[in-house]
Structure 1
Amino acid sequence: MTQPSTRTGTLRLVLGDQLSDGLSALTDLDPARDLILLAEVRDEATYVRHHKQKIALAFAAMRSFAVRLETRGVSVRYVRIDDPDNRHSIVAEVERALADGRFERVVMTECGEWRLAQALSGFASASPSLVEIRPDDRFVCSHDRFRRWASGKSQLRMEFFYREMRRETGLLMEGDQPAGGKWNYDAENRRKLGKGVRPPRRLRTPPDEIARGTIADVARLFPDHFGTLDAFAWPTTAEQAEAILADFIENLLPGFGDWQDAMAESEPWMWHGLISTSINLGLIDPLDACRRAEAAWKAGRAPLNAVEGFIRQIIGWREFVRGIYWLKMPEYARRNHLDADRGLPWFYWSGETDMACVADTVRSARDHAYAHHIQRLMVTGNLAMLLGVHPDAVDDWYMVVFADAYEWVEMPNTRGMATFADGGIVGSKPYAASGAYIDRMSDYCGPCRYDVKAKSGEGACPFNRLYWGFLERNRDRLRDNVRLAMPYRTLDGFGEDRRKALLDEAEACRVSMGAVRPSSEPAE
């Protein structure tokens, strides 16, 4: 005779980027019978050698979330990184929690990265009656919704996806028309800082007791990982994240539109929100942030170009790149449309370069695990593409150095926007630029050792030395791109000898900067 099961409870897995009260895995939680599992494991901390601040941020936020749950009477099984019994993989920790036979099922919310999703799906497939994986409804656009939008389209462009998200959410809509009569105010969001114009002082978050303890643990256990911990000031609780969001909307959003693309020496934050880490961890509801920004515009506290630009970053780009990632993986991770084959120069890690823009961006990454989107795209990303760095190395660098980098959001931005390795799935053209762009949008070039006006020679800005050679080197792959018609007409007018000289100039620059094939020795 079959004995009745003694399993009555539910084990609910919460991952480190799922720290939301309304997480789908927790919606029918029974505090009397259920147990929530959170685990700090080396598999997740070291599959790339994440920045020390990134690890500390995730672990401190997880520890704080566990306390938040426990104060509400919820039972939590929390596995710390230094627990001697820690098996250091998410699946292994789920299996260890199930070993006592208490739970009749496991409930989890789908995870954001392909790698871990495959491991958890494999676990679920082995026990289909035991495991339930729920959709992550913290996003505006579900995977099914994105697939329906993408179906039958020859090109997937964020702008048109964004318009649908605007219609569906009602954000910045006046009936069926966009507020102000335009969908996109990007043309009004490219002002260079004038002399004496600097961003206002902003609120940062000193580490609380839990964060301080976590920082000490990370310093002890991950001493060789990239970055410093000294300036850690990221929100690790929902309350801290709320304070940062409120400060941004009140004090920085009004200037965000005009200067969101501007860069300045030793000004890492500019007018940017510094909420991407909190959104990606689950501490801030992204749609709520958008509605609060919209309310600021309606109340006359922020201009339309600023609010539209902010909302576009969230329900446009953020949702779009997630959709692309899950639509195209795992093949997307192997894309290398330009056949880039060079290694990443060491100065991406050390910051030891005379290029003022690159040195400042790497310093910001080292000290804060942060750089804003133009520094990522038009400085480090643009340079890596012009150098021909293999997209795997670029992906790895971005995943390591930025605290808000998760593969689903990082890879389409690096393989798509920054390096054009996806061949145009995300962006309609490579975002290749000479030093003139950096000069126009920053104050980097004045004191830089390199001459931003010079086109060739060791004293010329490396962006200038690389730009035309990049186009010539990739002529067969890019010549038919309509958005590159003008530069290729210019290049065609140079004549064969000059084009060969441009290739030679670019190659000399690549080698001198250490962008060599892995089998080669970098230049001294």
Structure 2
Amino acid sequence: MRADPDGPVLRLVLGDQLSNALTGLGDLNPDHDVVLMAEVRDEATYVRHHKQKIALTFAAMRAFAARIADRGVAVRYVRIDDPDNTHSIVGELHRALDASPFSKIVLTECGEWRLAQALEAFAGVATVPVEIREDRRFICSRDRFRRWATDKRELRMEFFYREMRRETGLLMDGPDPEGGRWNYDAENRRKLTKGLRPPQRLRTPPSSLTRDAIADVARLFPDHFRDLESFGWPTTAEEAETVLADFLDRVLPAFGDWQDAMAEGQPWMWHGLISTAINLGLLDPLDVCRRAEAVYRAGAAPLNAVEGFIRQILGWREFMRGVYWLKVPEYRQRNALDADRVLPWFYWSGKTDMACVADVVATSRTNAYAHHIQRLMVTGNLAMMLGVHPDAVDDWYMTVYADAYEWVEMPNTRGMATFADGGIVGSKPYAASGAYINRMSDYCGACRYDVKGKSGDGACPFNRLYWGFLERNRGRLRDNIRLAMPYRTLDGFGEARRADLLAEAERTRVSLGAIVGEKATKGETEKGTP
């Protein structure tokens, strides 16, 4: 059809752009514009996402579409089971153009490089103009981050975070940080007190609309990872607001002390449980930070809690997005430690005698969630010391977590968890023996492995891997100033002892299933993922 230059505008809204503040909707004319939203297999299956993530996205999309339709806006909504569904975003754009005349298409820049490339290619061949607008739901724009990074020899989150504090005024006392310090990380690492249990957490009962989405996912994605029964994520802005308000009121005050702690059978601890809502667009990150600051200003939460919470959003979340867009697509190929092993099957099944790993995988299977220390210092630390190829690690994190999007997951995986980026995100690999896990959790007490054992089948695998990891990567890591102390210790062992440690680590890698194989570089789950 021939486009009328004064005709209606087609406005694309993606599944993680569910915000009324979306720039692509900023000048929407409800009298004649059309909003396009589509549930497509391309986005649900480029990795075999956890069933809860797919159900969450579909339910949130359907609720958002219903909300704007109630305001009188025309919505072209394509469900996953629509027989005419092309199952790609670009395909649905073409189909919409074929069905009706539009003067142009307006969309908001998407979060993942893969889809951004497809949409830019579409813009080059579309029969009407395509306008791609900046996504302003983030605190730091891509251009702002690029300007900050331009003259930096190293990209360090701490210095970026300070810049964002100054720009936003969050937790500032004039030109100085509130309390005289920028960072209270040292006060965020209290060891779990015996008998202490975290508060009961507010979960969101699925609405009828959400239950329909859950049923669709159970029917159409039966072999995806994993449980749907415990679904309790907010799918609307109102539900997300309820979860946030409950966290700020009851949980935030103790978050600072216990945010790094882990406990068996306690998946939530004192964490916010709002990352899914922020990443979908249901909550505004700057507003969340300002409301947390208001709790501190009112004297209802200590500084170490509020600063630690704000640092996760204003610091790490914004920094990870900035690094991603600064470094893709090259970043996707980084493998600085030449890791070449497959991901052991227990990452999917949870069937392992390592109590910490079994618990983290169990909660990931059940809830599509684990908190940041479980991801970094248990599953990530282990994958790095096993030498698992970063493609396989990327695939696992993207598959199992409901809040995982490539812009935030990949810098965490290749940067923080596995050091595959060679130091762009983190100044050192976060390798640790079982002593760290023992200090920050109650996992080790009932584990069949001895957390104090150094070698042999009964010793903690983290201990058996640690020194061998350093020795195996001596040529790559020896000059890292933050590893000077462990390498001095390692050097003091003598050549024969270092050879024994390397052999012990290799036996452990093989016994745990981290072998060299084709699937190491494919980054794919096996058919029939449990």
TM-score using structure 1 length: 0.98
Cα distance change of structure 1 residues 520 and 403 upon mapping to structure 2, 3 Å threshold: closer
Identity of aligned residues (%): 76
Deviation digits for residues 14-34 of structure 1, max 9, x if unmatched? 000000011000000000110
Q: 1:489 to 1:4 in 2, by over 3 A?
A: closer
Which residue pairs with 1:329 in the alignment?
A: 328
Rounded Cα–Cα distance in structure 2 between residues aligned with 1:302 and 1:115: 41
CA offset digits 1:378-399 (Å, max 9, x no partner): 0000000000000000000000
Q: 1:295 to 1:128 in 2, by over 3 A?
A: farther
Moved over 4 A (4+): none
Asked whether the 8 Å contact 1:417–1:430 carries over to 2, the reply is: yes
Structure 1 match to 2:201: 202
* CA distance in 2: counterparts of 1:219 and 1:335, whole angstroms: 35
Give the Cα separation in 2 of the matches to 1:195 and 1:513. 31
Q: Which amino acid aligns with 1:430?
A: P
Tell me the residue number matched to 2:147: 148
2:103 touches 2:128 (CA, 8 Å); kept in 1? no
Match of 1:409 in 2: 408
Higher mean C-alpha displacement, 146-155 vs 423-432? 146-155
Q: Secondary structure at the match of 1:103?
A: coil
SS in 2 for 1:317: helix
Letter aligned with residue 164 of structure 1: E
Q: Give the deviation of 1:73 after TM superposition.
A: 1.1
Q: Note if contact 2:15-2:57 (Cα within 8 Å) is conserved in structure 1.
A: yes
Match of 2:526 in 1: none
Instruction: Report the counterpart of residue 79 of structure 2 in structure 1.
Output: 80
2:170 is the counterpart of 1:187? no
Deviation at 1:368, TM superposition (A): 0.2
Partner of 1:252: 251
Which amino acid in the other structure matches residue 227 of structure 1?
R
> Aligned letter for 1:200?
P
Q: What residue in structure 2 maps to residue 422 of structure 1?
A: 421
Distance 2:301 2:117 in 1: 43
**Is this contact kept in 2: 1:7–1:101, CA < 8 A?**
no
Q: Which residue of 2 aligns with 1:138?
A: 137
Q: What is the distance in 2 between the residues matched to 1:345 and 1:165?
A: 39
Secondary structure class of the residue paired with 1:446: helix
CA gap 1:186/1:398 in 2 versus in 1, 3 angstroms: same
Q: Counterparts in 2 of 1:425-440, with a 5 A limit?
A: 425-440=424-439
| Structure 2 SS opposite 1:99 | helix
Please state how far the C-alpha of 1:163 moved relative to its aligned partner: 0.4
Which whole-Å CA distance do the structure 2 matches of 1:371 and 1:242 have between them? 21
Tell me the secondary structure at the aligned position of residue 430 of structure 1.
coil
CA RMSD after TM alignment: 1.2
Q: Residue in 2 aligned with 1:499?
A: 498
Q: How far 1:124 moved relative to its partner?
A: 1.1
After superposition, residues 64-463 of structure 1 pair within 5 angstroms as: 64-127=63-126, 130-463=129-462
Compute the displacement of 1:153 (Å). 1.1
Cα displacement (A) at 1:72: 1.1
Q: Deviations over 1:120-149 (max 9, x none)?
A: 011112249610000000011111111100
Contact 1:7 1:102 (C-alpha < 8 Å) held by counterparts:
no
Q: Compute the displacement of 1:101 (Å).
A: 4.0
Q: 2-side partners of 1:52 and 1:242: how far apart?
A: 24
Match of 2:38 in 1: 39
What CA deviation, in whole Å up to 9, does each residue of 1:209-255 have, x standing for no partner?
00000000000000000111000000000000000000000000000
Q: What secondary structure is seen at the aligned counterpart in 1 of 2:122? A: helix
Aligned-partner SS, 2:254 = helix
Shift of 1:100: 2.9
CA displacement at 1:499 relative to structure 2:
0.4
CA deviation digits over 1:386-439, x for unaligned, max 9? 000000000000000000000000000000000000000000000000000000
SS in 2 for 1:428: coil
- Uncovered stretches (5+) of structure 1, i.e. residues with no partner: none
Q: 1:377 to 1:359 in 2, by over 3 A?
A: same
Tell me what 2:527 maps to.
Answer: none
Q: Distance in 2 between matches of 1:101 and 1:266?
A: 53
Matched letter for residue 281 of structure 1: L
TM-score, with structure 2 as normaliser: 0.97
Q: Describe the shift of the 1:516–1:32 C-alpha distance in structure 2 as closer, same or farther (beyond 3 A).
A: same
- CA shift for structure 1 position 512: 0.2
Q: Residue type of the partner of 2:43? A: E
Residues 1:457 and 1:235: Cα distance change in structure 2 (over 3 Å)? same
Q: How does 1:445-484 map onto structure 2 within 5 Å?
A: 445-484=444-483
- Aligned equivalents of 2:107 and 2:400: distance in 1? 28
Amino acid paired to 2:289 = C
Check the 8 A contact 2:3/2:128 in 1, yes or no. Answer: no
Task: Provide the rounded CA distance (Å) in 2 between the counterparts of 1:453 and 1:220.
Answer: 47
Whole-angstrom distance in 2 between the partners of 1:293 and 1:264: 25
